[in-house]
Structures are given as structure tokens and as C-alpha cells.
Amino acid sequence: MTRKAVVVLSGGLDSTTCMGIARDRGYELYPVTFSYGQRHDREVEQAKKVANYFHARHHRIVDIDFFKQIGGSALTDLSIDVPQAGVGEGIPATYVPARNMIFLSLASAYAEVLGAEAIFIGVSSVDYSGYPDCRPEFIESMNQTVNLATKTGTTDHGLTIEAPLMHLTKSETIKLGTRLGVPYHLTTSCYNGGETACGTCDSCRLRIKGFKEAGLIDPVPYQIAIDWNA
Ligand code: ZN
């Protein structure tokens, strides 16, 4: 029987790489995308294209309006500016309160119903922005928690939260994904969510740096000219 994996898929570079890794490990892919009031719908649209690309049999889109109701993040509250001038001190304004804990809770419920063994999430503690829910301590703790909280964790094979990018830099992730045939042209990373990426927000800058360090050219278009050899 084919093993199943739930993949938390945002339509961004990291989660799309996780699709490639999970496929490479022989899993049948069950992507789940959270529409949580992020500034733009583009992520969800790109996630649909990625799910199609990987021929996922089911792609769940989960609406969570609650994040927009409570605000507290530049990604869900339009009155808070997205940082443009590089990563500053501390936890940035783009942090969304307890996002990965909530996503993994819902993903584990889905995984249990599916009989899936693994949940993939594209967090990294290397090039991360200081988000507490991207640290290995959190993933280890959550792995224990979802097994304590579920029937499968207590009476069956249980669930493993896989964070295969945890110790990879952005460029290492891109190199790995490129080797696995990950469709980066379908991904979106820009916090501003335009048809073409801004090239200046923190997320764009990290992505551009990653492609440059990998010695590759990012296939998505940018609003500004980028010297990929610099
Ligand atoms: Zn951007």
C-alpha cells in the first residue's frame, strides 16, 4: 500500500520543495493549503498550480478567517506595514501568531483521517526570520503532541512531522529542489503578492540571495532588474 503524506503547501518555495521531497520518498501527496487572510490570494492560486503539477489526488484548501479577525501580523492586518528594509532585530512584523501550531494541528487531524504517516512542513531554522514556530524545538515538541492527541498516535502507526528543510540554507533548499524537479516557476514568495515579485521585500531578498548562491536563475519575474551573476 502506498504511504500517504500530508504536505502543508503555501505555494511558496519551501513548501513546494517539500512536495518534491515527499514525492521522492515515495509518498502519495495530500497537500493542504490554508487561506488565512494573508494579504493576497496569490499564494492559494499558486498552491493549486503546484498541487496540479504534482498530480495530487486531493488538494484541500482550508479557510481560516480567524487570523484576519485577530490581526497582529503584517501578513493579515493591512494596517501593519510589511518590512522592506531587510531583516531587523527580533521577531519581525510578518510573524503570524501561532500559525504553524494551528496549521500542524489541522494537518494532523487530516492525516489521521487519511491514515497518512507523515506531515511535511517547509520550515527552516537556518535562513529563517526569527519565527519561534520554525525552530527544531517546536517541531519536536509538536511531533510529540500530535501523537499524544490522536488515535493513530496511541493505537496505530502514529504521525511523523517531517521538516526536511530545517537545517538547510535557502540555496541548499533550491539546489535540492532543482535536483528533484521542483517547479519553482509556479511558486510565489513576495509578501506584496503582485503578478511580478517586488524584489525588495524580505521574502524576495532571501529568495534572490538563495538562487544566486545556488548559481541558478530564479524563473519567476521581478519588477526590478536583477544581476544573477553578481
Ligand atoms: Zn517581494
C-alpha cell at 17: 520543495
Position 192 scores a pLDDT of 84
* Ligand 1 center from residue 134 Cα (angstroms): 21
- AA letter at 131: Y
* Ligand 1 center from residue 82 Cα (angstroms): 10
Kindly report the backbone phi and psi dihedral angles of residue 208, in degrees, each rounded to the nearest multiple of 5, phi listed first: -60, -45
Position 36 scores a pLDDT of 87
Position 179 scores a pLDDT of 98
User: Distance between CA 3 and CA 116 in Å, rounded?
Assistant: 7
What domains sit in the chain, N to C, each tagged with a CATH number? Answer: 4-214 (3.40.50.620)
Q: Residue 214: which of 167, 159, 164, 174 has the closest Cα?
A: 174
Sequence-distant (6+) residues with CB within 8 A of 187 are: 11, 12, 13, 16, 46, 50, 220
* Ligand 1 center from residue 221 Cα (angstroms): 11
* Ligand 1 center from residue 190 Cα (angstroms): 4
* Ligand 1 center from residue 209 Cα (angstroms): 13
> Rounded to a whole number, what is the distance in angstroms from the first to the last CA of the chain?
48
Position 82 scores a pLDDT of 75
* Ligand 1 center from residue 202 Cα (angstroms): 7
* Ligand 1 center from residue 194 Cα (angstroms): 8
* Ligand 1 center from residue 200 Cα (angstroms): 5
* Ligand 1 center from residue 207 Cα (angstroms): 9
pTM above 0.85, yes or no: yes
User: Distance between CA 218 and CA 173 in Å, rounded?
Assistant: 13
Position 128 scores a pLDDT of 61
* Ligand 1 center from residue 198 Cα (angstroms): 4
* Ligand 1 center from residue 187 Cα (angstroms): 13
* Ligand 1 center from residue 92 Cα (angstroms): 15
Using H for helix, E for strand and C for coil, what is the string for the chain?
CCCEEEEECCCCHHHHHHHHHHHHCCCEEEEEEEECCCCCCHHHHHHHHHHHHCCCCCCEEEECCHHHHHCCCCCCCCCCCCCCCCCCCCCCCCCCCCHHHHHHHHHHHHHHHHCCCEEECCCCCCCCCCCHHHCHHHHHHHHHHHHHHCHHHHHCCCCEEECCCCCCCHHHHHHHHHHCCCCHHHCCCCCCCCCCECCCCHHHHHHHHHHHHHCCCCCCCECCCCCCCC
* Ligand 1 center from residue 191 Cα (angstroms): 5
Position 79 scores a pLDDT of 82
* Ligand 1 center from residue 43 Cα (angstroms): 13
* Ligand 1 center from residue 181 Cα (angstroms): 24
Low-confidence ranges of the chain (pLDDT < 50): none
> How many beta carbons lie within 10 A of that of residue 183, not counting itself?
17
Give Dmax over CA atoms of the chain in angstroms: 56
- What percent of the chain is modeled with pLDDT above 70? 95
Digit-coded pLDDT (tens) for 140-181: 999 999 999 999 999 999 999 999 999 999 999 999 999 999
* Ligand 1 center from residue 138 Cα (angstroms): 27
Position 86 scores a pLDDT of 52
